[in-house]
Amino acid sequence: MPGPQRTVTAPLRVCRGLGYDQLAMVVAADAVVRRSWSQGRPAELLIPAVGADGAARYQFERELSREGHDRVTLGPDAYEQRAAAFVDQRMAAVSEVLAGLGVACSLTEVSTASPEVVRASRTAFVTLYEQGLIEHSQRVVLGCPRCRTPLDRLDVEEAQLEGERLTLSVTTSDGHELLVETDAPELLPGAVAVLVPAGHPAAGGEAVVPVAARQVPVLESPEDTAVRFVVAAHDVDAHELVLHAGLPMVPVFDGSGVVGAPGPLHGLGRYAARAAARQLLVAEGVVVAAQPGLEQVQRCGCCGSVVVPHLGWHWFLRSGEMDVGAGDAVRDGLISFVPSDAREEFLAVAAVRRDWCLSSAVAGGVAVPAARCLDCGRLAVETEPTLSCGGCMGPLTAEQETLDSRFVAAVWALVLGGWPQRRAAGNDGHEAAAVVAGQDLAGWVLPAVALGLRLAGTSPFCRVMVHPWPTPVDLHAGSFVDDTIDRRVRRLALVEGTGDLTTAHLAVEALDQPEAACGDDPEAAADAAAALAALGEEAPRHAAGRLAAALRAGVPAEAAERLRAMALPILGE
């Protein structure tokens, strides 16, 4: 017998607090499920909750600091217990908010921290490692100096800071003067080469890097039109170039954003080192010009700190081939998208080949299922941890890193279909639809589909609905959880995607008192009824928008009763 139709949302990062966009996504998904109920079809809503991520640790440690405690003063055991209790409290608070909006769903039942998801995540890692898709290598990754964890590109926000661009005069060994611009002089101790455009007369010579007082080669670069320093340990592209050139790596900053390189800047934080480096450059007499400008930076999405790319050993998934396979599956019609243009957005994201850093350093996360032998150095990657090496029987020490929470959340979608107990994670005869935000196409839908196809042989979703929000998406969510405001008004505003409670209130008021509404538009009523009938097949926002517009325009009193009944999935009563 077919099971209930499942509607799932993108994972909620409960410790960050719910924003307008997350509330809108969840209520839109709830409306889809309620529409199925109104038609007598069994359906269920599943909302995965992510508790162990960078945001959770940041918020928890802020709370501890207000109490005068930290990891050291509490001790490791008490810290872990308090952290787990903190996540449980945030989970309960979010559940209460959703219940206030009429959303009936238990977050704890579908948490990504459940034992089933933890085991499946470790199994997925080991399987991909055995397939040669995961490797442990030294690369440059984005790192937050405050959270002290590697970050995915989706976990950072672009920003600008007031800065200064310095033009430095560097003389080569054969007498050529190079004018090199930099807005990060604190990185000069890590420069291992100077790049010049192809055909430049200084190519092939050597130059002394200011501050570092180190002689480095001058290399040609067909892709560069300006002269620049190569700081391989803190630049992804430069790192690849240096590997091919056989040059050394010279890290400047450690994971906490402090200069670890020997020299006059040692022990300084990033911006203190920048000020000190500038003074040294002036003292050396190599500053030709200094102009104010805007520096392009990236901030951690959890704490807002400016991230520092740095060199480290981490686990990487070669996901490019998997992503392309997900795109091919969509072209073959395996997954439908609502609205239809979301399909093109998905394909555009799937076409971007990249390696995925699976390493994280979040307390309470899923441990990387790997350990290294202290005697022979053998690496053991196993779903179930063991104490001794399979080669020499020496003691194993487990990896200290945890798996990226996005990876665990993607595996959660596979667990819904029965993986890894069943090779093909089918949906037991029911359809699975995902209701997500636009940014979730890259952050969750793509990895879930790619992993599903690789590991389970099928996609965890047959349909993806992208629910749009107004701009900006960081609308204050307080009004939408205010129990003194009619729940129907809040739900209509969320599903309609306008964020405008005033217009939603006018629509609900017209529904309650149709005889008082101005206008008599049977065509608007028919249009709204048709949109409501298609709720679930078309975007929830489409139905809510047509309903609100018809009600505000004024519909015949005899049509209001029918609209009131059809609008129950959106209004929640």
Strands (E), 123-227: 134-144, 149-151, 156-171, 177-182, 193-197, 206-209, 214-221
Q: Report the length, in residues, of the chain.
A: 573
More confident residue, 385 or 404: 404
Q: How confident is the model at residue 225 (pLDDT cuts 50, 70, 90)?
A: confident
pLDDT in tens, 556-572: 777 778 888 888 899 88
- State the virtual CA torsion across 552, 558, 559, 561 in degrees, nearest 10: 90
| Overall average pLDDT of the 78-102 stretch | 84
pLDDT in tens, 531-542: 888 887 888 888
Any idea which architecture 5-132+319-466 has in CATH?
A: 3-Layer(aba) Sandwich (3.40)
Minimum mean pLDDT among 68-82, 109-123, 306-320, 479-493: which range?
68-82
Query: Residue 135 in contact with residue 315, Cβ under 8 Å?
Result: yes
Q: How confident is the model at residue 430 (pLDDT cuts 50, 70, 90)?
A: very low
**Beta bridge partner(s), residue 106:** none
Strands 156-171 vs 355-357: parallel, antiparallel or unpaired: unpaired
Q: Is pLDDT of 1 > 70? A: no
pLDDT in tens, 470-512: 554 455 677 788 888 999 999 999 998 877 788 888 888 888 8
**Beta bridge partner(s), residue 511:** none
pLDDT at position 333:
93
CA 92 vs. chain centroid, Å, equals 23
Give Dmax over CA atoms of the chain in angstroms: 92
Q: How confident is the model at residue 469 (pLDDT cuts 50, 70, 90)?
A: low
- State the virtual CA torsion across 232, 235, 240, 245 in degrees, nearest 10: -30
What is the token pair recorded at 495? 């599903």
Q: Is pLDDT of 518 > 70? A: no
pLDDT at position 419:
93
pLDDT at position 426:
47
pLDDT at position 54:
66
116, 357, 434, 464, 504 from 441: Cα distances, Å? 24, 18, 10, 9, 28
Give the Cα-Cα-Cα angle 65, 71, 77 (nearest 5 degrees). 130
Determine the 3-state secondary structure of 163 from DSSP: strand
Distance CA 275, CA 364 (A): 38
Sheet holding 370-373, edge to edge: 379-381, 370-373, 396-398
Domains in the chain: boundaries: 5-132+319-466, 154-300, 483-571
What is the token pair recorded at 190? 């890590």
Query: Residue 169 in contact with residue 179, Cβ under 8 Å?
Result: yes
Distance CA 408, CA 456 (A): 15
pLDDT in tens, 144-166: 888 788 888 888 889 999 989 99
Mean predicted lDDT score pLDDT of the chain: 85
pLDDT at position 560:
77
Determine the 3-state secondary structure of 169 from DSSP: strand
Q: How confident is the model at residue 343 (pLDDT cuts 50, 70, 90)?
A: very high
Q: Is pLDDT of 291 > 50? A: yes
pLDDT at position 248:
86
3-state SS, one letter per residue, for 300-350:
ECCCCCECEEEEEEEEEEECHHHHHHHHHHHHCCCCEEECCHHHHHHHHHH
**Beta bridge partner(s), residue 287:** 168
Q: How confident is the model at residue 347 (pLDDT cuts 50, 70, 90)?
A: very high
In this prediction the pTM is 0.88
pLDDT at position 429:
37
Distance CA 388, CA 76 (A): 24
Q: Is pLDDT of 240 > 70? A: yes
More confident residue, 381 or 110: 381
CATH topology for 154-300?
Answer: Isoleucyl-tRNA Synthetase; domain 2 (3.90.740)
Q: Is pLDDT of 39 > 90? A: no
Distance CA 229, CA 250 (A): 13
Q: How confident is the model at residue 451 (pLDDT cuts 50, 70, 90)?
A: very high
pLDDT in tens, 201-218: 999 899 999 998 889 999
